[in-house]
Amino acid sequence: MVAALVAQAGAATSTIPSLSGAPAASAVTTAVPGTDPNAINTIATPPIDWSAIMPMVVLFAGAVLLITVTSLMRRKPKGFYAAWTIITVLIAMATAVPLWARVQGWTDIAGQTAFLGLEYQPPFFGPFSAVAGAVGVDGFTIFATFVICISVALGALAADSYLRREGLEGPEFYVLMLISAAGGVLLASSNDLIALFLGLETMSIAVYVMAAMHLKRVQSQEAGMKYFVLGAFSSAFLLYGIAMLYGATGTTNLIGMKNVLSATIPLNNALLMLGFGFVLVGLGFKVSAVPFHSWSPDVYDGAPTPAVVYMASGVKVAAFAGMVRVFVVAFGQYAADWQPIVYALAVLSLAGGAVLGAVQTNVKRMLAYSSISHAGFLLMAVEASNGVGTSALLFYLAVYVFMVAGAFGVAALVGRQGDGRHSLDDYRGLGRTNPLLSASLVVFLLAQAGVPFTSGFLAKFYAIGAAVSAGSTYLAVVAVISSVIAAFIYLRIIVAMYMSEGGDGGAELRPTPEDHIRVPATAGFGIALCVLVTIGFGLFPDTLTRLSEQATPALVEEVTPPGSGQATAGGPTGPIAVDPTGGGSPGGATGAPAGGPGG
């Protein structure tokens, strides 16, 4: 696959004309197939731009090293795992900074300077693809990488005291979270549907385990089981969709697909449409859009709360990033075909999340339904299928991570020993026993409701603006109405915390001093950070708005630097990627392993 991808990457036409002197078209062929008798034994591996995939490598290496180091250490200092995780994440983010500089063309930083002692001179500036066109690096990818990394850090902050409290202390949770994040970054940066699938699975499989991690709780096992079965079901659908898109276009590479689709009218349009539908079903499950949402309240309710912190933020970010890459970026010209489906999903999620959430009595389930409603807003930004929608989506995701991580972070503390006290009654009187904790929960809930001067307001504002800009006015109306209904969910929790006597259910529980919840330093720090960011981006959103506008996705073919010895020959790009005659033309040079059996 890899070799053929190189061939296709070379032949693909650039969609972004910013690459000055891109040598793709002038690449020379170094090997002539047919002359080498050992051609079948030599696999032309693509050049790997390690800097492009460094965030993934760091996250994965951090996970592997963490489990290795902790198995060798006799006694671990308190909070060692969480500290390791956060440091890993910070390094991963640091490696993404030069990439951002390179993509945005900050010559003063990435142009001639050394990074971490390494002389680093990028061959060109602007978005690019790496690893045979399987991984795309653009502003969108790096923005999503940052957001995913932040959600891992917030998950680790919430998990540290939680795991110790529940007697689950160990490196596994953090290792799984880091691996899952590496998968999420791959998903967000995939330029190839197979890379997308691998990223999605790496991300999901780790999260299945995290959901089932609390072995003492029946609910946790049940959550893990349900998540696993429905997750596997949805990935099978996604994969079937990928197979159909492959059948319709003859490639799994998004760049190749885009080129094929813009150059020719596909032979089999039904396959293409089925592929869109199946891929949307698969991704719809992951972002928990109605009607594929049935797992999410159960899983959010049953899974250990720090796992939910990550699951509700990081996993969703990655899944939405993947959705944008596939539909908005690669299949943007077929928007008329997939937009109605996304439109319907958005309407259903907006309405369903708000209405079903309003009748819940369990706070974690309420938050789960509210996150379904948020998925509706995000789908609305996807549905717009334009630059406004993409930056609205990124802004929304960035602030959403803090709102949802903070809210579930508070829930992790209020759940107390055993992680079972999540009913609305358990929140009664929290305003008196824990004023700071409940005040921060109020901030997160108001932000989720979209109250002005919080980040949530602008997020919803931009998402609705994107829908209007794309002409989906009715969708915007539905969004506004549903956010009014959803406000009821949040107000119910706030009322329970501050007006515990009488009203709203009855049960009169007078809080005693023993009800005071001790807030551990790490969890408290995480929640405080979320509060600061939620209010901070509400008051001063300019930086984030600018960043989300700069973070545009792009599909750019891979460009190998001249003289690297790798031939990016202009192979055929049609549905038939390999010359059936055995690759006799020099054009199919790097397709040698693929062409071998035919010759």
User: Would you say 208 or 537 has its CB closer to other proteins?
Assistant: 208
The span from the CA of 157 to the CA of 524, in Å, is 8
Contact yes or no for 302/211 (Cβ under 8 A): yes
Give yes or no for residue 597 binding other proteins (CB under 8 A): yes
**Of residues 39, 52, 187, 244, which one binds other proteins by CB under 8 A?**
244
Q: Is 535 in the site for other proteins (CB under 8 A)?
A: no
- Under rule CB under 8 A, which residues in 163-222 are in contact with other proteins? 194, 197-198, 201, 205, 208-209, 212, 215, 218-219, 221-222
Determine if the peptide bond prior to 291 is cis (ω within 30°): yes
Pairwise CA distance, residues 234 & 585, whole Å: 42
* 239 versus 533: smaller Cβ distance to other proteins: 239
Partnered with residue 523 across adjacent β-strands are none
Give the x/- contact pattern for other proteins in 293-332, rule: CB under 8 A. ----xx--xx------------------------------
Site string for other proteins, 364-403 (x = CB under 8 A): -x--------------------------------------
- Neighbour tally for 267: CB within 10 Å: 12
- Residues 158, 163, 169, 175, CA torsion sign: negative
At 180, which amino acid appears? S
Q: How far apart are CA 497 and CA 442, in angstroms?
A: 9
Nearer to other proteins, 87 or 267 (CB): 267
Task: Tell me which of 40, 236, 436, 481 binds other proteins, using CB under 8 A.
Answer: 236
Report how far residue 491's alpha carbon sits from residue 501's, in angstroms, rounded to the nearest whole number.
Answer: 16
Min separation Cβ 599 and other proteins, Å: 12
In angstroms, rounded to a whole number, what is the distance separating the alpha carbons of residues 7 and 530?
46
* Residues in contact with 522: Cβ distance below 8 Å, sequence separation at least 6, in sequence order: 79, 82, 157, 160, 161
Rounded to 5 degrees, what are φ and ψ at 362? -105, 125
Name the minimum Å distance from CB 500 to other proteins: 22
Q: Which of 88, 161, 251, 391 binds other proteins (CB under 8 A)?
A: 251
Contact predicate 314/153, CB 8 Å: no
**Would you count residue 358 as binding other proteins (CB under 8 A)?**
no
141 vs 508: CA distance, rounded Å: 50
Q: Considering the rule CB under 8 A, would residue 111 count as an interface residue with other proteins?
A: no
Quick one: 88 exposed, middle or buried, by C-beta within 10 A (0-12, 13-18, 19+)? buried
550 contacts other proteins (rule: CB under 8 A): no
Q: In the set 145, 252, 385, 434, which binds other proteins (CB under 8 A)?
A: 252
Q: What are phi and psi of 290, to 5 degrees?
A: -65, 135
Taking the complex as a whole, how short is the minimal distance between the CB of residue 196 and other proteins, in angstroms? 11
Query: How near is the Cβ of 350 to other proteins at its closest, in Å?
Result: 20
Only one of the segments 150-158, 437-445, 509-517, 573-581 lies at the binding site for other proteins (rule: CB under 8 A); that segment is 573-581
Beta bridge partners of 118: 115
List of residues contacting other proteins (CB under 8 A):
1, 4, 194, 197-198, 201, 205, 208-209, 212, 215, 218-219, 221-226, 228-229, 232-233, 235-236, 239-240, 243-244, 246-247, 250-252, 297-298, 301-302, 360-362, 365, 575-578, 580, 593-594, 597-598
